[in-house]
Amino acid sequence: MTRIKEFFAGMSDSGKHISISKRHKKLFLALFASVLLVAAVIGIVVGVKSNKENSDSIADLKASPAHAIVKSSCSSTRYPELCFSAIATAPVGTTKKVSSLKDVILVSLNLTITVVEHNFFRIEKIISMKNLTKREKTALHDCLETISETLDELHEAIVDLIEYPKKKSLSSAADDLKTLLSSAMTNQETCLDGFSHDDADKHVREALEDGEVLVEKMCSNSLAMIKNLTDTDMAIEMSKMGRKMTDITADNDVEDSKWPKWLSAVDRRLLQSSTVTPNVVVAADGSGDYKTVAAAVAAAPSGSKTRYIIRIKAGVYRENVDVPKGKTNIMFLGDGRTSTIITASRNVVDGSTTFNSATVAAVGAGFLARDITFQNTAGPSKHQAVALRVGSDLSAFYKCDMLAYQDTLYVHSNRQFYINCYIAGTVDFIFGNAAAVLQDCDIHARKPNSGQRNMLTAQGRTDPNQNTGIVIQKCRIGATSDLLPVQSSFPTYFGRPWKEYSRTVIMQSAVSNVINPAGWYMWSGTFALDTLYYGEYANTGAGASTSGRVTWKGFRVITSSSEAAGFTPGSFIGGGSWLRATGFPFSLGL
């Protein structure tokens, strides 16, 4: 019960730490009242009643046959006390049906959904208040979007878990479930990160933080139990079959030799064809079906199970484009990465959030893009300004350019693949918490503002059980023409840890001397240096020597090919089951 008590303690004295301007006084009094109200609702959901009622509920569970199962299940989580007390005080009769770890996870997911719903309604109420700044309103809308996605992900996880493992292979089912919960956790962080740009933003963050953190911890508990369940089942299966994990992983390469079973006959014919017939054409000069990309996306069917191709003819499209969650299996097909350019300039300095600054945001599952440039022209003085944000599961990009300065490519969440792309930027220019593999890409640091350092990556994993990370494989890491002559004045590093369990691997890549001999840089003091996972494997070039690298506990020079194989597309993003369907080239292994 400690964490739940802390939740209420944080509510009761959060006002002590807020210095409120006159303009915001009424707003934050209302926010505070709203938070207290939702805290009470959340308390009911997760069982925060009177001490006597709590004691009775926990006593009832301890006396029931389900006690041992719940206690054992929760022991594998990072927050076992929260896990146990929430389930103990679930609606009457719930625990009577608990007879397995799977049942405990289902109860946990349903409880989490209820809390997420109340967070959503609370934010809707806050948005209706007056005196909000432009960025506060934008950040709150970002929260509504990411929380809505969280609800979809949790509902999908319940469906998958009920069916587990009947309709999928064990490895696919496990990866899907871990991806859903990893993404759900990332969404809570994204909501809060939108209120980190100035003092006023931070006050709103404080008002929302406890509810979002509670959801993240509940998701973390479900993820830990899912990992325990699936790892155990896979170990049993391998034991029965007398096979090693490397044998199971190798199956991905076998799958690559044929079309996936789930691929429709229409898509199969499409990908086998030497020419691609688009569904619609976008042309700025009016010669197509639409003049803007956004209009073509808006007119696309929702929930499509077959590929919907939007051909974007050569031209410069000055617009912001969102491919929302409901628009699935959409493909942007350009006339060439230097010919078809989608560009805009939203940025944090001018009032946007990082999340909302993206020129193009792709969220609907199965998104593909080929022969296009995604660009944000805000410049280095405008701080965070995203060219492309991707939260689309099983998404892929081929022969695309992503051009900006700080925060160029936001690999936000889910499973992503980039092949033969060009990414250029300055600070943290590949960042986020997806499971993302960049293969055969050119990754170039640009000249930043005076006094700045370049960071190729800022990976955002917050939990050791998340199946996320940034993998740069068989790429070329260098500097743009403006940085080359002055690179000694602007240190460039592979990355720094944005979040506590940041994970990035650079392998089999050609690294120029643009990379500082230390290789990696800290975020803030010793934060995350023991818990991160930064690995380098079989790289070449003037900047590849590891003799002068950082000596952090979390950094490693990978010498085992089997360890490195875990970060290949075949293993890390389950590429054997879906990359073939993209029609793009790829390599599954080392």
Beta bridge partners of 476: 442, 510
Neighbours of 532 (CB within 10 A): 26
Q: Is 393 a known active-site residue?
A: no
For residues 417 and 439, the answer to whether their CB atoms sit within 8 Å is yes
DSSP 220: H
**DSSP secondary structure of 222-257:** HHHHHHHHHHHHHHHHHHHHT--HHHHHHHHHHHTT
Strand extents, DSSP E, 250-329: 280-282, 308-312, 315-318, 321-323
Radius of gyration of the chain from its Cα atoms, rounded to whole angstroms = 24
Contact by Cβ (8 Å): 455, 429: yes
Q: Which pair of structure tokens corresponds to residue 45?
A: 């959901």
**C-beta of residue 180 within 8 angstroms of C-beta of residue 153:** yes
Cα torsion 160, 162, 167, 168 to 10°: value is 50
Respond yes or no: is residue 428 known to be catalytic. yes
Catalytic residue, candidates 256, 322, 371, 407:
407
> Which of these, 329, 532, 67, lies nearest to 75 by C-alpha position?
67
Are the beta carbons of 471 and 572 closer than 8 angstroms? yes
Cβ–Cβ under 8 Å, residues 513 and 483: no
Tokens representing 88?
């103990």
Question: What DSSP designation does 301 have?
Answer: P
Q: Are 515 and 542 in contact (CB under 8 A)?
A: no
Collect all residues with Cβ–Cβ distance below 8 Å to 66 and sequence separation of at least 6: 95, 96, 98, 99
Q: How far apart are the first and last CA of the chain?
A: 47
Q: What letter represents residue 119's amino acid?
A: N
Listing DSSP states for 341-372 in one string gives EEEE---TTTT--TGGG-SEEE-STT-EEES-
- In whole angstroms, what is the distance from residue 411 CA to residue 495 CA? 14
Answer for the pair 516, 491: CB distance below 8 angstroms, yes or no. yes
Paired tokens of 93: 């009769």
Of 175, 322, 428, 463, the active-site residue reads 428
Rounded to whole angstroms, how far apart are CA atoms 267 and 259? Answer: 10
Would you please indicate which residues are annotated as catalytic (active-site) residues? Answer: 407, 428
